[in-house]
Amino acid sequence: MRIDGTSALVAGGASGLGEATVRALHAAGASTTIADLDSERGAALTAELGDRSGFCRTDVTDGDSVRAAVDVAAAQPGGLRIAVCCAGIGWAQRVAGRNGPHDQAAFEKVVAVNLVGTFNVIRLAASAMMAVEALPSGERGVIVNTASIAAYDGQIGQIAYSASKGGIVGMTLPAARDLAASGIRVCTIAPGTFDTPLLGLLPEAAREALGQAVPFPPRLGRPHEYADLALQIVSNEMLNGAVIRLDGALRMPPR
C-alpha cells in the first residue's frame, strides 16, 4: 500500500503512540483524520500539521461517533485506505482483595474502550474501505490495531486491561480472514513499555527502572518506533493477520 495520496484515520491520534503515527503518516503524504476525545490536543496537532490534517472528537465506544470520523476520512482525497486504532485506557485492580471483588463497572469500561472501541474502528473503517476502488494488486486498505504484551504477560492487577488487549489479539486473524476477499489487511501491534503520557506521570526513577527491565535495548520504547512499524505494516503487502510484539524481548514479571 502506497501511503502518499491516501487518507488515514488514527483513533486515539491526539497523543502518545497515536500522535506519533499521525505525524509519520502525514509526513509520508497521507491526509490524516485524528479521532480522539481530547479536543484541545487534537485541534492543536491539526493546527500544527496544517494541510491534509483534520480532527473529529470521537468516542470509540459509540458506533455513531466512530462512523462520523470514518465518513470524514473517507471524504478525503484518495479515499480511506489506512486505519490505525491506538485508543485505549488502563485500570489496576486485583480480582479480589481486602476491599472486596474487582469493580464490575471498571472492568466493563476498560473492555468497552479497548476492545469494543477497536472493534468499532475495524468494522466501520473496513466498510468504508470496501467502497474504494481496488488497487492493481487487489488491495483496498489496511487496518492496524494496538494490543499490548499484557495480552500475554498480564501482571497482578491487570485482569481488565489484559482481557481487553487479549481480545484484540483474538480478533486479528478472523478479521483478516473476513476481509481478505475485499483486499483489506488487518494486523495488530503489541507494544511493551513505551514512553507515553501515561508513563510520563511516574517518577523518573520508576521510568528508568521500567526501561532497564527491557533486555535490549534497555530503555522505554519510543512512540516513533511504534509509528515506524505501523507504516511498515501498511507498506508490506504480505503482512496480514499477524500480531507483532514490539517489546525489546521483554516478558513481564508477575508484578
Please identify every residue annotated as catalytic: 161
Cα(60)–Cα(115) distance, rounded to whole angstroms?
10
49 φ/ψ angles, rounded to the nearest 5 degrees: -75, -30
Task: Return d(Cα 73, Cα 81) in angstroms, integer.
Answer: 9
Dist CA 230 CA 142 (whole Å): 10
Cα angle vertex 124, ends 234, 40, to 5°?
80
Q: Which residues pair with 172 in a beta bridge?
A: none
- Contact between 237 and 4 (Cβ < 8 Å): no
Phi, psi of 172 (to 5 degrees): -60, -55
- Residues in CB range of 103: below 8 A, 6 or more apart: 93
Q: Which DSSP helix (H) or strand (E) runs through 100?
A: strand 100-101
Grid look-up 487479549 returns: 166
Evaluated on CA atoms 242, 246, 250, 255, the torsion sign reads negative
Cell 472493534 locates to 119
